[in-house]
A and B are shown apart, each in its own frame.
Chain A
Amino acid sequence: MRLGSGTFAAGCVVIEVLGVALFLRGFFPAPVFSGAERQAESPAPEPSAGASSNWTELPPPLFSKVVILLIDALRDDFVFGSKGVKFMPYTTYLVEKGSSLSFVAEAKPPTVTMPRIKALLTGSLPGFIDVVRNLNSPTLMEDNVITRAKAAGKRIIFYGDETWVKLFPKHFVEYDGTTSFFVSDYTEVDNNVTRHLDKVLKRQDWDMLILHYLGLDHIGHISGPSSPLVGHKLSEMDSILMKIHTALLAEERDPLLPSLLVLCGDHGMSEAGGHGASSMEEVNTALVLVSSAFERKPGDVRHPTRVQQTDLAATLSIGLGLPIPKSNTGGLMFPVVEGRPMREQLRFLHLNTVQLSKLLQENVPSYNKEPGFEQFKVSERSHRNWIRLYLEENNSEVVFNLGAKVRRQYLDALRTLKLSLSRRAAQYDVYSMAVGTVLVLEALVLLLLSVPQALSSRAELDVPLLSPVCSLLFYLLLLALAALHVVVCTAADSSCYLCSLPWLAAGGVMTLIAALLCAGMSALTRVFAGGKCLSQVELAFQNPPQSTSRWSELDLLSFLGTVGHVLSLGASSFIEEEHQTWYFLVNTLCLALCHQIYRKCLLGDDCAPQHCPHTGEEFDGVAVALQGKRAGPEGWELSRAPADPSSLEALRGSERWMVLASPWLVLACCRLLRSLNQTGVQWAHRPDLGHWLTSSDHKAELSVLAALSLTMIFVLVQKRCSLTSKVAMAFGLLGIYCYRAAIGNVLFPWQQDNKDISKGITEARFVYVFVLGILFTGAKDLLKSQIIAADFTARTVGLWEIHSGLVLLATLLLRPHNLPVLVLSLAIQTIMAQFIWRPLRHDVAEVTVMHYWFGQAFFYFQGNSNSIATVDISAGFVGLDAYMEIPAMFLTAFATYSGPVLWASHLVNFLTSEASSGSALSHACFCYALICSIPVSVYIILVTSLRYHLFIWSVFSPKLLYEGMHLLITAAVCIFFTAMDQTNTKS
């Protein structure tokens, strides 16, 4: 089957989108959480046998006061191992002989402080998705122990890591946050916590005291777990524990309601001193519960038992008499309540299992078949029977024995429920990730292998579809993949997304993989066969000595830039500051263009394109490049009327000066835009023009700027539109100013006070009408050009109208201080097209790469970054009464990616208006697809290998989402290109 290279590229990108979607689904497992609103629902009553039991209230608290002593990076052997014996004598005494319970709590990766605090207090396993869900606000929105305790009127005091204050604003009656920024300081951070201790321990006005010590973690980061500093720090912590414990004991008056002291770590410490990954040292933390309620008989030796870190939330809730958080996946640590009467024990277990089974019901469609749920039903039934027996009979031994049996049933049910819940959360679904990666890579390899054919002058390529489907290899592969699928899915603890798909869909994916592999193989053989032929031809004709000058500086720069950018994605700082990379590259590009222009203008350099046809593609070895050159020596540049090399010198005076000045103009524009929005992380706090403009003191300046920008947009856009869309554009831009005035961003000159701020729905919808009108006119012109053959002007006008419709939409959605970005983007497009690309006759590939780079730079110029927090969600509400998911998502995505989209649409315009060659558009589409899919494919592999990195959730995952979204946009762009190309070839 013969396909145009544009169509082929679009198909490959669509397949990549599919692969990335699969990868994302595996990378971000659907979190287990309770979607139910937090409301005052009554706690589950005790299973009643008729009307005889009426214990529907929550059980009373077990402890009067709770002190949580959280020591960052407290590994289990720091307490229970030889270090503990040596440096923490008091704790060791408590663990071995005192009234305490000790556990080894297992933390789930990422072993980083914030998710661990969330896990400790919500009992859930925080995934990345919940970071996305509460965009912008670091506040913990999920149901948790602290919020419950606050609601129950407990007074909470907190000293320590600032993260807590951000997670729980307004929860603490008193707090002092220390920052964990200066890792090299390990004394002062802890003294800042301890200095409050004496005062607080004397006071009686609190119920919960939380202390978070950072020093140990800092020591780990500086010098590792075996450093002598660790010993000192542990002794210090031991003395603090002793101080708190003695103070608590002295205060304890009511022996029935003792206090509880929790010593725990949030994560461990690797042998190198860091944390974040999932090695044993990082995952195992110490957890010691100290209370006089855990009195033990002499000779009772208790070894630390293994629990999950999430179990603490349920235990604390029960201990404080609070409802268990809804998303909790942990189980009650049973030894804590072992001393209570049997009826209470069963009541606690019942509450916990009811909560877990509710969570299971919400998250698993077929919860009825889960073994845990069945066990829960069985134990609830026997619990009911036991209550009846308990209330009727007094034979305590029989009742006790039966109760012990129910208890065992409950504990079994609890364990099974916990297992099936935790299996669903916080695990990378490696199988789906691998399948997605394979799909993406196959599509990329196919794209790369077909470079020479696709960029030939015919811009067509043979896609052997029939032969691979019939080949033996395809069927063997399909069989092997199916077998693999069955093996993976029937494995004991599989919770893969692919396995939960219906068989037909999974089979489709497998078929796609096998077919792509076969296609790749045949393409590979073709390349090799072609390569052999070529080398013979070359031997026959003797390679011209020109081969060193095959790559112009521009090609070299775009190749190195692409490679450098892709490599930079492996470093978290470069991802945070990716805007710097693009600004740097765009600047360098402008300087390279400047060099080229000056050389040509002043020297009449003979390196004009027709003398040394650039290969224009940047990603392949010399062999492929050579091949491409042979395949179509004329196909590389826009085939316009051949111009003499000194055409630049023939330019008229003013135009010549414009050509010479244009790179500097573009550079100046970029510098201006750069200071408009400071973005990234390190320099984000620097003052920028955007903040200055948006502050309420400078509303007048902002209004003037917005009005100017709107005028400039009209001037820049209107010259190539038809009259109808000119008028529509003018009205649309007026409407935008009215909209911004209505929502109070800008002022009318006659209205000095902004009293009535509305949502501006009418104004925004007024603009939408014009946007749709312009787009419709554009589409109409395109159709007309298709019917009336060779109506070239109608086509260009139609395309430009679509472009201007998009510009109008972006103008409406972008915030007013970002309007200069749009103006300058249009200005740069005009300058570059008029004075650089046209006179210098760059080939299609170069023009495409430049458009892509500028698109990326403008993505950041408008204030975006690679963190989720900079997405402007307000764009999704423009002209909408209430939140409507699909339009809001579309509008937000368009506003965020307006830079790349507008540059891509300008590329279509430029190529159709410039090139008479029919293949320009499909070449551009192919190049665009290739250059966009390379970073995504490499990034997927990078993220997979870095999945236990410290910054995986804070830096790499948001970037992954951005990359996925960018690929989706690219697919849309490529499909648009292909559609335009089709209309072109038909007409």
Chain B
Amino acid sequence: MDWPLSDTSFCIATQENTMKDTDIKKLLYTHLLCIFSIILSIFIPSFFLENFSILETHLTWLCICSVSVTAVNLVLYLVVKPNVSSKRSSLSYKVTRFLKCCIYFLTSCFFFHVIFVLYGAPLIELALETFSLAVILSTFTTIPCLCLLGPNFKAWLRIFSRNGVTSIWENSLQITTISSFVGIWLGAFPIPLDWGRPWQEWPISCTLGATFGYVAGLVISPLWIYWNRKKLTYKNN
């Protein structure tokens, strides 16, 4: 990928901008890693598993994809540490925090499952498929939120309201999450069409939509933040 950040821009940039630019650069690399993990989850398993393809063994792919994206997100969170807010660092605090995160993740899976059923997914049959869709959507949206914000529902709501973001990381989180939602929303569109294609099966078009949305969000958010870096003013800056 061609990144428009060149050496000259460093020279012109003020001190604050340099800070921002390094942040943006960091953001870009983390996002590239996420995209890379998704691509790997498509190609690597075919070496180990027979008859592996996205459409036919869809659930397997979903599991692998969700696990790899989660892993990459966790590792990146531990390495990059975008928010330096955690004051206490006792082990018990960390453990409770982790458990809380797990509970939040599971809740979000069930929550998404309920929403899909409300949107018209079959109630009993194909429940596994619906749930795996919920899992993958939670992977794309809840896990980055958990990594960045921790189990704090009010903070989440704040990010998704207008003018609520306080850093580049939160801004990119907002963009990727919204684009995942939009992707899964748009992914439902081809279902009623009578083309009879294999990818129109429930929930393949939706998972693909969510994945494309997530990837698009990952690509767009550093670019968007870069283009708008002059306008973006965060409260804590």
Contacts and interface: CB of A to CB of B under 8 A. Distances in A.
Interface stretch (B66-74, B80-88, B135-143, B152-160): B152-160
A595 B160 contact: yes
Interface in B94-152: 115, 117-120, 123
Contacts of A588: 185
A593 to B, nearest CB: 13
A682 B154 contact: no
B193 interface: yes
B14 interface: no
Contacts of A598: 157
Nearest to B185: A588
A602 B191 CA distance: 36
Nearest to A581: B192
Contacts of B158: 603
B158 to A, nearest CB: 6
B161 A603 contact: yes
A605 B158 CA distance: 9
B194 interface: yes
B230 interface: no
Nearest to A568: B189
Contacts of A605: 161-162
Contacts of B160: 595, 599
Contacts of B192: 573-574, 576-577, 580, 680, 682
B188 interface: yes
A603 B158 CA distance: 7
Contacts of A607: 161-162
B161 A573 contact: no
Contacts of B163: 549
A662 to B, nearest CB: 14
Interface in A547-584: 549, 571-574, 576-577, 580, 583-584
Given A573-B194, A682-B192, A580 B115 contact: no
A667 B114 CA distance: 10
A591 B163 CA distance: 20
B16 to A, nearest CB: 21
A680 B157 CA distance: 38
Nearest to A575: B192
Contact of A599 (B115, B161, B188): B161
Nearest to A595: B160
B118 A573 contact: no
Nearest to A588: B185
How big is the B interface, by class? 20 to 34
A580 B185 CA distance: 13
Contacts of B164: 603
Interface string B173-211: 000000000000100100111100000000000000000
Nearest to B194: A573
A549 B185 contact: no
B154 A603 contact: yes
B105 to A, nearest CB: 20
Contact of A587 (B118, B123, B162, B194): B118
A583 B118 CA distance: 10
A171 interface: no
Nearest to B191: A580
Nearest to B154: A602
A599 B155 CA distance: 11
Nearest to A675: B123
Contacts of A674: 120
A543 to B, nearest CB: 15
A170 interface: no
B230 to A, nearest CB: 14
B228 to A, nearest CB: 11
Interface string A632-673: 000000000000000000000000000000000001101100
Interface residues of A, number: 29
Contacts of B185: 588
Contacts of A573: 192-194
A603 B123 CA distance: 34
Given A573-B194, A577-B192, A584-B188, A671 B161 contact: no
B221 to A, nearest CB: 18
A404 B1 CA distance: 87
Given A584-B188, A674-B120, A602 B157 contact: yes
B116 to A, nearest CB: 10
Given A595-B160, A603-B161, A605-B162, A682 B120 contact: no
Given A573-B194, A605-B161, A682-B194, A671 B117 contact: yes
Given A573-B193, A603-B154, A682-B194, A587 B161 contact: no
Contacts of A580: 120, 191-192
A603 B163 CA distance: 12
Given A573-B194, A588-B185, A682-B194, A667 B161 contact: no
Nearest to B161: A599
Given A584-B188, A682-B192, A671 B118 contact: yes
A834 B185 CA distance: 29
Nearest to B163: A549
A573 B185 CA distance: 18
Contacts of A680: 192
Nearest to B119: A587
Contact of B118 (A574, A595, A603, A667): A667
A598 B158 CA distance: 10
Contact of A583 (B120, B154, B157, B193): B120
A667 B117 CA distance: 10
Contacts of A667: 118
B185 to A, nearest CB: 7
Contacts of A587: 118-120
A670 B117 CA distance: 11
Nearest to B115: A591
Nearest to B117: A671
A668 B154 contact: no
A790 to B, nearest CB: 41
Contacts of A682: 192, 194
A599 B157 contact: yes
A452 B123 CA distance: 46
Interface string A589-602: 00100010011001
A671 B193 contact: no
A577 B191 CA distance: 10
B115 A671 contact: no
Given A580-B192, A584-B188, A670 B157 contact: no
B76 to A, nearest CB: 28
A682 B120 CA distance: 14
A229 B82 CA distance: 64
B36 to A, nearest CB: 32
B161 A668 contact: no
Contacts of B120: 580, 583-584, 587, 671, 674
A636 B154 CA distance: 31
Contacts of B118: 587, 667-668, 670-671
Contacts of B194: 572-573, 576, 681-682
Contacts of B123: 675
Interface in A59-92: none
A141 B126 CA distance: 44
A549 B162 CA distance: 8
Nearest to A590: B118
Contacts of B191: 580
A865 to B, nearest CB: 12
Given A584-B188, A682-B192, 12 more contacts: A573-B194, A574-B192, A583-B119, A587-B119, A588-B185, A598-B157, A603-B154, A603-B158, A603-B164, A667-B118, A668-B118, A671-B118
11 contacts: A573-B193, A577-B192, A580-B120, A583-B120, A584-B119, A595-B160, A602-B157, A605-B161, A607-B162, A671-B118, A682-B194
Interface of A: 549, 571-574, 576-577, 580, 583-584, 587-588, 591, 595, 598-599, 602-603, 605, 607, 667-668, 670-671, 674-675, 680-682
Closest 7 pairs (CB-CB, A-B): A577-B192, A573-B193, A573-B194, A667-B118, A599-B161, A671-B118, A580-B192
